[in-house]
Structure 1
């Protein structure tokens, strides 16, 4: 048994063993003090870590909002379908607006056509009135040239109206059957 301590380099002397143990404990104490001093020299990272934590939380919320966005959930085929639907809706809206504009244009054209027709009918009416006035004037001239002769022939023959009219028209004297000469160029004198 005495051979075991010598194999492992353990001294037989207890004083020497305690001295060796004291040195090891002293070394261990120095190491622990060094670690404590080193720990005290480490800077405090808690404010920086808190700021990083807040930024990570904000980023997590942003990512969560992005994940909830409808565009992220769309597959390319779904996106194509929605784009096609939006394009069809836009074309339908454009077609509706074009139809409304076309209807308004037709209304305006109809109103303008009505104004043109009204103006033409007014112009036609004025021309017709002018022709009627001209016809009435010519008819009046014709009537005035025929009617006095007709009236003169319808009066009694003893009045000699046709002869009187002929003499007055020619500016000559009228000869009556009684052989009296009557001057038709002068106005008759008034008898008092």
Structure 2
């Protein structure tokens, strides 16, 4: 049993065995030195890893804030209720603003109607004044056509006003108070 078979590759010669062992240890020693040199040439990743760590911590804080937000805790049914309430509130606010705008619009329309009515009444008043002036002018013409005759006939006869008026109208002068009319220079030039 202590007999080691040859087919496993173990040499019978102890010198040969020590030489093989020395070569393997030398190879192992060289490999370890290579790993040490490779490790010394390896860059220092600690600042980069520290930055990554800080970013991860900030992300974790953000995630924690998001988890604490009330919207995350809402179920879809509650979210629908909140959205419906917000929409109803917005519609009510819009309706209130529209009602206020409608009232303001009616007030402005009332003011405009008042201005139009005043403008129409002013225009009507001007037309009425124009008609009154025209009527007064015509009445003045008519009054002036017969009023002097009435006044002249109402004065005493000794003043001879109707005769004087007739002479003036015809362009003649009275020769005497009772005599015939005499033509003046003006009427002669016309004839």
TM-score, structure 1 length as denominator?
0.60
Given that 1:173 and 1:184 are in contact with CA atoms closer than 8 Å, whether structure 2 keeps it comes out as yes
Q: What are the Cα deviations for residues 77-135 of structure 1, in whole angstroms up to 9, with x where unaligned?
A: 11111101111121122222222322332233223222222221221121111111111
Quote the offset at 1:172 in angstroms.
Answer: 6.6
The equivalent of 1:142 in structure 2 is 142
Quote the offset at 1:144 in angstroms.
Answer: 0.8
Structure 2 unaligned segments of length 5 or more: list them: 3-31, 40-44, 187-191
Given that 2:172 and 2:181 are in contact with CA atoms closer than 8 Å, whether structure 1 keeps it comes out as no
Given that 2:152 and 2:162 are in contact with CA atoms closer than 8 Å, whether structure 1 keeps it comes out as yes
Comparing 82-91 and 100-109, the one that deviates more:
100-109
Find out whether 1:183 has 2:190 as its counterpart.
no
User: Aligned partners of 1:49, 1:156: CA distance in 2, in Å?
Assistant: 138
User: Aligned partners of 2:150, 2:55: CA distance in 1, in Å?
Assistant: 124
Taking a change above 3 Å as real, the CA distance of residues 168 and 54 of structure 1, as seen in their structure-2 partners, is closer
The equivalent of 2:15 in structure 1 is none
Find out whether 1:131 has 2:125 as its counterpart.
no
Given that 1:168 and 1:184 are in contact with CA atoms closer than 8 Å, whether structure 2 keeps it comes out as no
TM-score, structure 2 length as denominator?
0.60
User: Aligned partners of 2:92, 2:129: CA distance in 1, in Å?
Assistant: 54
Q: How does 1:26-175 map to 2 (within 5 A)?
A: 57-170=57-170
Comparing 106-115 and 75-84, the one that deviates more:
106-115
What value does the CA root-mean-square deviation take over the aligned residues? 4.0
Quote the offset at 1:148 in angstroms.
Answer: 0.8
